Amino acid sequence: MKILLPVDGSEFSHVAVRELVERPWPGGMQVEVLSVAHPTPEYPETQLMGHAVFLESLARETKWAQKNVDEAAAEIARDAPSIPVISKVLEGSPQEKIVEEAAAWDADLILMGCHGYSAAMRFLLGSVSHAVALHAPCSVEIVRSRRSAKSGKC
């Protein structure tokens, strides 16, 4: 069994990591911890951003994504040492890259957290978990924290 575990450094990703390490899994499984660096424009118009600013933002996001992957992989290695873990950082749109990586790696399951945004926030930011669930080439399990479960939204 191959499980793709996308992380973004949030408490919601941490809930998914905890779910992974605390659950009994069959032998022979593998986990790929994935984070996607997605540069966010610091200016209202991306055309005003400039190439140098874009590269600086991408470098900052890539460093953050690598930190998130390293922390999640270390937690899995510490708390579930029998589970082999690989890690990867990609650049681009999180929902697209997660779906693409699940297909390329031939994942059996994507296990991910849910932020529990309100309808207005989902409209503005989108819902990565919702988009992944709709387009993934495999099963998707969306793990909720108590806070996101109370909102009833993902």
- Report whether pLDDT(119) > 80: no
* Confidence tier at 147 by pLDDT (50, 70, 90): low
Report the number of distinct structural domains present in the chain: 1
Owning domain of residue 24: 2-151
Read off the pTM. 0.84
- Report whether pLDDT(124) > 90: no
CA dihedral 7, 10, 12, 13 (to 10 degrees): 20
Q: Tell me, what's the pLDDT at 72? A: 97
Query: 126: domain CATH number?
Result: 3.40.50.620
**Cα–Cα dist 139/3, whole Å:** 10
- Report whether pLDDT(47) > 80: no
Q: Is 32 left (phi over 0), alpha (psi -120 to 50) or beta?
A: beta
Q: In terms of C-beta distances under 8 Å and separation of at least 24 residues, what long-range contacts does 46-53 make, across chains too?
A: none
Q: Can you tell me the mean pLDDT for 10-37?
A: 94
